[in-house]
A and B are shown apart, each in its own frame.
Chain A
């Protein structure tokens, strides 16, 4: 009975919602609430990347570009055209998604490292455009005083302001949870099976009558749109935009989150994103050694937990269960 509850998705989703609700109350200071929001944004980026990487098997190193496109498109719509936030948000997500589709034209032809480098090239060019097109993006001069999302006015309830960090966290984390649920539904639907089939063996998938190209384009579009949403939240949250925030190293950081957490599971990237966001902050106490320890830990995690935190956790759980005498097999998330 207990194990039935524990393995039910609905139970875990409700738990996740409760945890999100409680977090800003536990972390009541502005520093940790700031980190919570960064976590939520990184969760979006990592989950989005894992959808195209872990499920469709497409190595995409362009996530920093889609992140930046979302941030810049929505911000320019707000600051230059005076567009309301949520409309600008939709535009940012849409343009990032379209850019992902554009890149996937390459994905249709290329696999493996070729695609990785094509997407990396796309990220380099996007970064350079943000940097050099000063008349549009301000380049390195930066855009400042970007307003947070506008207050939410629901009749009968008090106005919800988003210059408040707790509320902004609820917004970004809520959006991340929603994205998670949607992607979770998607990967367990026939679409998810189709994508996995393409990942495992493209040729036999094609022989089964699957239009691989169409599905790859879709996977790319969804993944980059999610990253674009992350960018929209970033801009409204930090209030300052410079191209350096979307340099290609950001792509590698997001990739590390997916790998450290556990590729091909959705919960893995969530854990990886939280860990790699919180870890450097917790290490601030050790001063100059901070990034040395961080680098060593990332290397060790990959060496000793090659399946990521999720797989390591499953293994430990299985061992514990074995010791307890229950022969249950580990369920795949």
Chain B
């Protein structure tokens, strides 16, 4: 039984770190803009497909696929910001970008449907079916890679936010826009930067998720709702909180599957979310914010 509990713990951490990658992008954009990019899910999907095709193009080099997905994500993020969010910024209505990006999401999904078809792609990397076993525990190399890459990406992002001037500026903007402006920071460029980083992360998470997901044009939408939940549980715009919340949701998923029923995962996750909102609306780790509560 102990092995099973340990095994499910590992399973949860693997899935959780994937969720963290997706949710971090949402958190970053929310932190800076207080707005939601609904097309984030489709950037994940596009990242997955990019990785799939580039990996095949470079005769199975998965890392080339990951790099390409990262770049495609960054470009898409820049585009979404330039076309949707920037023009709508002067209208002080947070619902407009939400609805506009719903439109973008519908468009992207259906363009992919026309181009790529609805039949799931089998995206096996050289690591997917390479299983490591020790003491009754099993783990694929893909999972090891997922945890490694997530840790590196999260670590880099964290270091960037904490120690570089740009990162500090991003945090300043997300905490207090007026002060940031006084500091001589151009908020428009910073917002663009946030979008590029967030979407590059989304593209990369797509590349990592590709071999895990049922890869169709609708793949991203299956993880985005949970990513929303993670963003809230972690406290909107809070990087540390998002990481912890992502891992918690991953663990909830595997333990609910083991001890309850996989059909109940969403109920448990969102019940936790409502509970959090009821008792501690600032999220797991409180950060000072003036509005919302």
Query: Which residue numbers of A lie inside 8 Å of B, CB to CB?
Result: 59, 106, 109-114, 117-118, 120-122, 124-125, 128-129, 131-132, 248, 252, 255-256, 259-260, 263, 288-292, 294-300, 302-303, 306
Shortest Cβ distance from B221 into A: residue = A249
Chain A residues with CB under 8 Å of B99's CB are 255-256, 259-260, 298, 302
Q: Knowing that A114-B236, A303-B83 touch, tell me 20 more A-B residue pairs with CB under 8 angstroms.
A: A106-B278, A109-B293, A111-B292, A122-B270, A131-B263, A248-B225, A252-B102, A256-B99, A256-B103, A288-B113, A290-B110, A291-B106, A291-B107, A291-B109, A296-B107, A299-B84, A302-B99, A303-B87, A303-B100, A306-B93
> Nearest CB to that of B106 among chain A residues?
A295
Q: Which residues of B contact A306 (CB under 8 A)?
A: 88, 91, 93, 96
In the assembled complex, which residues on chain A have CB atoms less than 8 Å from the CB atom of B34? 112-113
| Chain B residue nearest in CB terms to A120 | B228
By secondary structure, the B interface counts as: helix
Chain B interface residue bracket vs A: 35 or more
Residue of chain A at shortest CB distance from B232: A117
CA A3 – CA B95 in complex, angstroms? Answer: 34
Contact of B5 with A by CB under 8 A: no
Q: Assess A117 versus B107: contact at CB under 8 Å? Given A106-B274, A128-B263.
A: no
A selection of 21 A-B contacts at a CB cut-off of 8 Å is A109-B277, A109-B281, A110-B281, A111-B293, A114-B292, A121-B274, A124-B225, A252-B102, A255-B99, A256-B103, A259-B96, A289-B110, A295-B104, A295-B105, A296-B103, A300-B103, A303-B84, A303-B87, A303-B100, A306-B91, A306-B96
A117 contacts across to B, CB distance below 8 A: 228-229, 232, 273, 277
How far, in angstroms, from A117 to B95 measured CA to CA in the complex? Answer: 13
Minimum CB–CB distance for B111 against chain A, Å: 6
Q: State which of A289, A297, A298 has its C-beta within 8 Å of the C-beta of B102.
A: A298
The answer to whether B266 touches A125 (Cβ under 8 A) is yes
Give which listed residue, B30, B110, B264, B292, contacts A132 with CB less than 8 A: B264
Contacts of A129 in B (CB 8 A): 267
CB distance from A102 to the nearest CB of B (A): 11
User: What's the Cα separation between A116 and B292 when bound, in Å?
Assistant: 11
A236, B113: Cα distance in complex, Å: 34
What chain B residues lie within 8 Å of A131 (beta carbons)?
263
Of A118, A129, A288, A302, the most chain B CB neighbours within 10 A belong to A302
Q: Are B274 and A122 interface neighbours, CB within 8 A?
A: yes
Interface residues of B (CB under 8 A from A): 30, 34, 36, 38, 83-84, 87-88, 91, 93-96, 98-100, 102-111, 113-114, 225, 228-229, 232, 236, 261, 263-264, 266-267, 270-271, 273-274, 277-278, 281, 291-293
Tell me whether A298 and B106 are in contact (CB under 8 A): yes
Partner of B267, one of A113, A120, A132, A252: A132
CB distance from B50 to the nearest CB of A (A): 20
Nearest first, the 10 closest Cβ-Cβ pairs linking A and B are: A295-B106, A295-B107, A299-B103, A298-B103, A302-B100, A121-B270, A291-B110, A259-B99, A292-B110, A121-B273
Which residue of chain B lies nearest to A121 when distances are taken between CB atoms in the complex? Answer: B270
**Considering only CB atoms, which chain A residue lies closest to B83 in the complex?**
A303
Tell me how far the C-beta of B43 lies from the nearest C-beta in chain A, rounded to whole angstroms. 15
B284 to chain A, nearest CB (A): 14
| With A113-B36, A124-B225, A303-B87: A118-B274 Cβ-Cβ less than 8 Å | yes
Give A2 Cβ to nearest chain B Cβ, in Å. 34
Q: B261 — nearest CB in chain A belongs to which residue?
A: A132
A291: B residues at CB distance < 8 A:
106-107, 109-110
Closest to B91 in A: A306
Contacts of B98 in A (CB 8 A): 255
